[in-house]
Chains A and B, each alone.
Chain A
Amino acid sequence: MTDTADITDKAVIIVHSGDMDKLYSALIVGNGALAMGMDVSMYFTFWGLQRLKKGGLEKGPLSKMHMLGLGKWMINKRMKAANVAPLEKLMNDYKELGGRILACEMTMEIMGVKVEELRTEWIDEYGAVGTYINEARDAKITLFI
C-alpha cells in the first residue's frame, strides 16, 4: 500500500528533556506531523534518552510543580479525566505511522546506558550529532524539547 501523496516534508525533534510534560509535547507534535503527511525523526539525548529505558517512558517528573510527585499525580488524574492518551499509546502510534527514533550514543556512554536496557524495538538508529544534522538539514521543522 502506498500513500497517494509524496511524503517529502520532514520534522526533526531533539528530545533532550526527560520531563513527562515535555515528552508529551514531543510525541504529540511528532504524531501530528506524521498524521499531516510529514516524515518525522525524534533524536533522544540526555534526560530524554532515559525515557527509552525499559519501563522508563512514564517515569519522568513534571517540569514545573512536580512537588515530590504530588503535582504529577494531580496532573495524571486531570489527564485521565480529560481522556488524554498515555505516552505508551502515543509512542506505539508514532511507530505505526512510520516515525523514526534515534538514540544518542554519547549519552549512553556518559550515563552508562546499555543497549539491552533500552526499548530497542522502538529505536531505528544509534548515532551522534552528525546523524541529527543529516536528518535535520532538509527538515522544514526542527525543535529542541
Chain B
Amino acid sequence: MVLHHIYDLHKFMGKTMAEIEIDTRGETCPVPLVECRKALKKASAGDEVTILGTHPASKKEIPMACKALGLEIIGVEEKDEEWKIKIRR
C-alpha cells in the first residue's frame, strides 16, 4: 500500500524518486538475487533500490545481474559479514 502511494506521488510530481530498501540478511541462494530482481521490477525508473544482505555469493552476483539488466550500481558498502548494494533503477 505504501509503495502505491509512492508511485502516485511519482506520477503526480514527475521527478520525485523513491528509495526502497530490501533486507535479505540471513537469506541464502537464490533469495537475495530474486528479492533484488523483484524490487527492481516494482520500482520506477530513477528510484534507488538498496539491498542489504549477508550471503557471500550474492554480493558478486547482484552486480552481475545489474550489468545484464543495464542498471547502474551507485554504491557498495561492506561491514564484517554484511553488505549493502545501492542500485539506480
B-contact bits for A81-99, CB 8 A (1 contact / 0 none): 0111100001001001100
The one of B30, B38, B40, B44 in contact with A28, judged by C-beta atoms closer than 8 angstroms, is B30
What is the size category of the interface that chain B forms with chain A? Answer: 20 to 34
Chain B, residue nearest A30 (CB): B30
Given contacts A4-B45, A4-B71, contact A35 B27 (CB under 8 A): no
B residues 11-45 in Cβ contact with A at 8 Å: 26-31, 33-34, 36-38, 40-42, 44-45
Give how many A residues have a beta carbon under 8 Å from the other chain's beta carbons.
Answer: 19
- Residues of B within 8 Å of A1, CB to CB, are 41-42, 44
Given contacts A1-B41, A4-B45, A83-B27, contact A93 B70 (CB under 8 A): no
The one of A28, A31, A37, A96 in contact with B68, judged by C-beta atoms closer than 8 angstroms, is A37
B-contact bits for A73-112, CB 8 A (1 contact / 0 none): 0000000001111000010010011000000000000000
What is the minimal beta-carbon distance from B80 to any residue of chain A, in angstroms?
A: 18
- Residues of B within 8 Å of A96, CB to CB, are 38, 41
User: Is the Cβ of A37 less than 8 Å from the Cβ of B69?
Assistant: yes
User: Is the Cβ of A82 less than 8 Å from the Cβ of B28?
Assistant: yes
User: Is the Cβ of A36 less than 8 Å from the Cβ of B34?
Assistant: no
Given contacts A4-B70, A36-B68, contact A83 B38 (CB under 8 A): no
B-contact bits for A28-70, CB 8 A (1 contact / 0 none): 1001101111000000000000000000000000000000000
